Chains A and B, each alone.
Chain A
């Protein structure tokens, strides 16, 4: 029996929803691919046709949420009139889209994100990073800073981004206001560094 594209999408979606429920209820470390398969009412082997690892499921959740934020940003997010403001909007809208995953996202991202801003696409998080850094680069160019960013500048950005990301995931301040301040200051630091790196 041939499985239609629609059925595939429906199964993929079911797996992702089951994973969100289990990650939120049992935490990242206690959730297994087998448990996700049971919750999604499919065989474990079937799950592996869609996602080879638990990390790949998490990376997909993060990538989908960030992709939506990126599309919104490309459609009209560059509206603050400043590079600092626009980069702030880019990062914060991504974090806002990830809000429902906040409880389990930190340990998941420890696995899926590399601290190195390398150009490879080996691990599940690499594609997310590459896409995000491209958007950062486009935004910098949009604001009239010419040329390709140096590897050091990109590494500074990625280090700051991961720091903000990790802080946000554990931030218990009202409305995550401490993350707002940290992001504001991190972006300021990065933009200042662009003229010096």
Chain B
């Protein structure tokens, strides 16, 4: 299945009246079930591309629905024109080098929302957090040489030529410093960082004919935020700084480990940190851990997220690949490429929304004004009011519960997914760009805790973590 088939699946004339989130979900299931039933190709390279394509297709399917909804209320003639533009845009979009990587990342996010995908497909996609298109050692050697003017075997006392994990557009190798310390060396695929801006320019140009309606400005600011964050994610100097700042937030008694950055062994395309030995979520779950262990790790995941959020540097990509479950019960956080750093405006909004949630529900209109840019007399206000209150109610469910809350409760998780789908279907997408990643991180954290089936005393965490 390629993008051509996906395009062929789009209706030629009328946008079906049933083309809502449910239609998208069912269509997606059909695609996934079909793909999941295909035999796995023998060579690892082909296997990688198949899995990668699969993940990209999921993201494309979402993207298609999303873009189509922008012009679903246009006249039939105009809609057909848009349809043609969309087909051309999607065909070209498929060729954009970096964004294919970016939509693959969106596919990963989908994999982390088990309510939306068949479990076996989610399990397959999970591998993408850890597998990457391999760079062979001769290429790695040249990337390291570009960075340090010396080869990897000279810079380090020992360097494993086989990667042990994937990273954002690169891979991670084990190595040993001359002092003997084991380290993880993250190496970025050459040249990829400089393609982001060009790809986004192309994408904007392609989407230009589609810009209809009042939501365009908001969508544009969201694209800009994604572009900014992707640029940040491939800047290893920035990641080193985010890692250092995050490390300062945790104390030994928290049982949360953030690796040290070894600045002398790091640069723009190479990042060297302490090596942390631990299991990723699927491997940890495969050990059949006790409920107490799940609860303890779940608590640490939530503590870590809150600690960073209240430090105004939210961990914006809390996917399972970024967490390690250590055998001594500690939690390792290992990737700080996708960390937002709130400025004064974002801090003010975050504080206001926090007060609305915990202290004064009547602030909801003010929050909508600041977050969604709606004036009090905007006709969309009642709808946004309903959305905001429903989202707040859902997020506060664990807090309304006395004692530990069971994040494995399917009802709670499904209500969240339904809200997400409902908001997408009704195009309630106007929001400050800071919420592009905030929303994703909230749902990702919930999905992790759901998979962990963790029971957590959220009251206690908020009591300790929320600044007075």
Contacts and interface: CB of A to CB of B under 8 A. Distances in A.
Contact of B194 (A80, A84, A173, A184): A173
A145 to B, nearest CB: 15
B231 to A, nearest CB: 16
Given A173-B191, A181-B191, A92 B142 contact: yes
In terms of DSSP, what is the predominant structure of the interface of chain A?
Answer: helix
Interface in B150-193: 161, 189-192
B136 A88 contact: yes
A186 interface: no
Interface residues of A, number: 18
B203 interface: no
Contacts, number: 49
A89 B45 CA distance: 20
A89 B146 contact: no
Interface of A: 80-82, 84-86, 88-89, 92, 173-175, 177-178, 180-181, 184, 192
A82 B191 CA distance: 23
A174 B136 contact: no
B191 A177 contact: yes
Most buried by B among A178, A180, A192: A180
A180 B194 contact: no
Contacts of B189: 181
A81 B160 CA distance: 13
B138 A92 contact: yes
B23 interface: no
A128 to B, nearest CB: 22
Nearest to B268: A174
B136 A180 contact: no
Contacts of B269: 177
A180 B190 contact: yes
Contacts of A88: 136, 138-139
A142 to B, nearest CB: 15
A178 B191 contact: yes
A188 to B, nearest CB: 8
Interface string B124-142: 0000000000011111001
